[in-house]
Amino acid sequence: MTGSLLTECKNLIDGEWCSSSNGKNSDVINPATGENIARIPYSSKEDVHSAIDAARKAFDDGGWRKSPVSERSAILMRLADLIEHDRDRLARLETINTGKSIKQSSNYDLPYLVDNIRFLAGAARNIEGKAMGEYVDEGTSAIRREPIGVVGVITPWNYPLMMVVWRAVPALLMGNTVVLKPASYTPLTTLEFGKLAQIAGIPRGVLNIITGPGPEIGEEMARNSQVDMIAFTGSEEVGRKLSSYGSASLKKISLELGGKAPFVVFKDARLPAAVEGAVVGGLVNNGQDCANSTRYYIHEDMVDEFESKLIEKLKEVKIGNPLDHGTDMGPLISSAHRKRVEDYIKLGMEEGGLLKHGGFEPKIEGCEGGFFISPTVIRTENEESRIVKEEIFGPVYTILSFTDYDDAIRRCNDVIYGLGASVWTSDMNKALHAVRDLRFGTVWVNEHVVVPSEMPWAGYKHSGHGASLSSYSLEEFTNIKHVYFDVSGAVRKKWYYQVFGSER
Ligand code: NAD
């Protein structure tokens, strides 16, 4: 199906493309067919050390760190141009490696992440802080934003290239050097990013990429005292482990973790808009988006109508070969992940849910080995069911009814996650109350999933801390330094009486 030869990939360490030092490799699979499409280095601890040493040296040498931000920005702008120029090739590669539809890769992911880079590269030149000023009567103070040092970036498989942009690009722009580890399922566009970054002019050692087993490489990066910060996007479980590995060296750990987004439809909502929004909110990225709507709280007077209209629309969604432009939805990332989603569906029914739609593995011609699953709708009134509380990360709609505003908001907030939530209503006062009361990093009103480059993407509670996109993501990769200039010129300053001399 791919028509591509098996690709042999290498690590990028100190500007050189190299195999793993132990000679081991692992396979990369196309989730739409189950075919091997590439071999990647199964890197060892020595490789991690080499990558960290290269990043440390590049940081300590100071060329990148001390370069004017305009130069770093220009390099990243060039990289955005190169990615844009290669958009079709990269979109196809992303689709072959993740199973997301080609129309999403080429018309959404690629143009969006190019825009993310351009925004960040521009905003990096416009970082603001307190004005230099006199805060005590004999001195002038200023703030500097400085790079943190060597940043270990660990990314997930659902948006491989976009997550590299969200985490590695702001780190680089602010003068840090980077060791980047992509998810083993989806390293291919990350390695292409490395090639294009070299062409754009990123100096050797400033960006290093290693592939291999997450638990070993990630743990080594988090424990290593030569790494100053970990920027992790992935599951809550691994985020928690990284926090504990990093605690011995007290490094900064920035975490962007899972979600369990509620989708609340009040009685005064425009039902057709809410139904279309639900189809997209639940299925974008084949239902493997941390922002996917998953818990549908629908006012009790309209829950049956919402459910039947949703199912009608879901029947229109075309599941198929993700490389076909007519396909709406491709496979899940792996056979193991599909089993996990299916286990949740079974569990939902054991815990009192009713299967209203889907729940099967569709057979796709030409993609018989793929990990497809149909969009699935479960109706439940068991608020304590694990399908209501835990992240499934698949195209599973859980529909529940609510009685009034307080009931809906309380149940929305009653999960460990706090990434995104949406409310659907034509009453602006109610919307504004919900915006205030929902404990989530993003709240959409009459929409779900949209995040412009200029706005922060950040979690509450177990969805993590820190921010992606916006100028907040640039600040995330800086230390803040206070610089104080004495302006009195005095030998004995007024406050020295505290140590010697008399108080005036
Ligand atoms: P994951 O946590 O399994 O893996 C993420 C990365 O961590 C991979 O590179 C993996 O190799 C590595 N890893 C695995 N075990 C590790 C360990 N013990 N120590 C260090 N690193 C380790 O997550 P995933 O399955 O790749 O991605 C899906 C998860 O990511 C979901 O929970 C989703 O909600 C979350 N996500 C969050 C955001 C966000 O912006 N908040 C964005 C995308 C995905």
- The answer as to whether 504 is a domain residue is no
pLDDT at res. 3: 45
pLDDT at res. 6: 74
Query: Which string of b and e fits 223-247 if b means at least 16 CB within 10 Å?
Result: bbebbbbbbbbbebebbebbeebbe
pLDDT at res. 504: 64
Question: Which of 45, 154, 465 has most ligand 1 atoms within 8 Å of its beta carbon, as the pocket-test mutant?
Answer: 154
Q: How far is the CA of 132 from the centre of ligand 1 (A)?
A: 41
Q: Which residues approach ligand 1 with their CB closer than 6 A?
A: 154-159, 163, 181, 183-184, 214-215, 218-219, 233-235, 238, 241-242, 256-259, 290, 391, 393, 419, 457, 459, 463-464, 468
Cβ-based neighbours of 471, under 8 Å, separated by 6 or more: 123, 126, 127, 128
Question: Which of 45, 285, 290 has most ligand 1 atoms within 8 Å of its beta carbon, as the pocket-test mutant?
Answer: 290
| 27 and 74 together in one domain | yes
* Boundaries of domain holding 387: 261-453
- The answer as to whether 251 is a domain residue is yes
Taking CA atoms only, the protein residue closest to ligand 1 atom 23 is 234
Q: How far is the CA of 257 from the centre of ligand 1 (A)?
A: 7
Cβ-based neighbours of 346, under 8 Å, separated by 6 or more: none
Domain tally, the chain: 2
Told to judge if 476 belongs to the known catalytic residues of this protein, a careful annotator would answer no
Q: How far is the CA of 312 from the centre of ligand 1 (A)?
A: 33
- The answer as to whether 411 is a domain residue is yes
The string of DSSP codes covering 375-419 is -EEEE---TTSHHHHS---SSEEEEEEESSHHHHHHHHH-SSEES
Which numbered atom of ligand 1 lies nearest the CA of 245?
A: 19
Which numbered atom of ligand 1 lies nearest the CA of 236?
A: 32
| 309 and 208 together in one domain | no
Question: Which one is catalytic: 35, 94, 220, 256?
Answer: 256
| 237 and 322 together in one domain | no
The tokens 């934003």 sit on which residue?
A: 145
Token digits of residue 408: 């809906």
Taking CA atoms only, the protein residue closest to ligand 1 atom 26 is 156
**What is the distance between the alpha carbons of residues 408 and 400, in angstroms, rounded to a whole number?**
10
| 116 and 184 together in one domain | yes
| 96 and 143 together in one domain | yes
| 294 and 344 together in one domain | yes
Q: How many angstroms separate the first and last alpha carbons of the chain?
A: 85
| 57 and 169 together in one domain | yes
pLDDT at res. 129: 82
| Regions in the chain scoring below 50 on pLDDT | 1-3
pLDDT at res. 1: 43
At 429, the amino acid letter reads N
**What is the distance between the alpha carbons of residues 264 and 401, in angstroms, rounded to a whole number?**
9
The residues pairing with 319 across neighbouring beta strands, listed in sequence order, are: 329
The string of DSSP codes covering 52-106 is HHHHHHHHHH-HHHHS-HHHHHHHHHHHHHHHHHTHHHHHHHHHHHH---HHHII
Q: Model pTM greater than 0.85? A: yes
Cβ-based neighbours of 401, under 8 Å, separated by 6 or more: 297, 298, 299, 300, 303, 381
Q: How far is the CA of 185 from the centre of ligand 1 (A)?
A: 11
Provide the CATH number for the domain around residue 185: 3.40.605.10
